[in-house]
Amino acid sequence: MKNVPPNSHLQFGFLISVETLRADKSNGYMFNTWQVRNFETYAELESPYARTAVEKKFPAFIRKYSKRETSVQLFLQPLTEIHLRSQIWREIATNNEIRYVWLFSSIALVLLLVACINYVNLTTARSAA
């Protein structure tokens, strides 16, 4: 992975393969339970419409590979939604929220409107004098 942009949520100091982690027996706990959330998985789907079809298969997948009852839920999230629309607990990087973009844009629009009204008011007062 060359030249990762600084505004990417994928910031890392090093990369290591899962098989290397698995070879170290002290990391065995990571592979024996669904409750460990140390890994992020990225997948490229053939089409955006395949998302719902893949998500429907997740419960059966969890039942098949989980050794005991678990509350784990898997889902897919488009990469383009991670920065402003992610509500995932313990996300890789600190994310912003789209509501703050709307809030500050609204404040800027109100300030611009006040400035325009002020300009028209001063111009009108100056032309009357």
Output the tens digit of pLDDT for each of the chain's 129 residues: 678 887 777 777 888 888 898 898 888 888 877 777 777 788 889 887 888 899 999 988 888 887 777 777 888 888 777 777 676 666 666 667 788 889 999 999 999 999 999 999 999 999 987
- CA geometry: angle at 50 spanning 44 and 54, to 5°? 85
> Are 17 and 46 contained in the same domain?
yes
Q: Residue 11 in contact with residue 3, Cβ under 8 Å?
A: no
Q: Residue 95 in contact with residue 82, Cβ under 8 Å?
A: yes
Domain housing 123:
98-129
> Are 88 and 117 contained in the same domain?
no
> Are 46 and 84 contained in the same domain?
yes
> Are 119 and 65 contained in the same domain?
no
> Are 13 and 58 contained in the same domain?
yes
Cβ count near 112 (within 10 Å): 10
Q: What is the rounded CA–CA span in Å between residue 12 and residue 36?
A: 19
Which tokens in the block code for residue 83?
């920065």
Per the structure, the count of domains in the chain is 2
DSSP reduced 3-state for 119: helix
> Are 6 and 60 contained in the same domain?
yes
> Are 106 and 88 contained in the same domain?
no
> Are 79 and 114 contained in the same domain?
no
> Are 69 and 104 contained in the same domain?
no
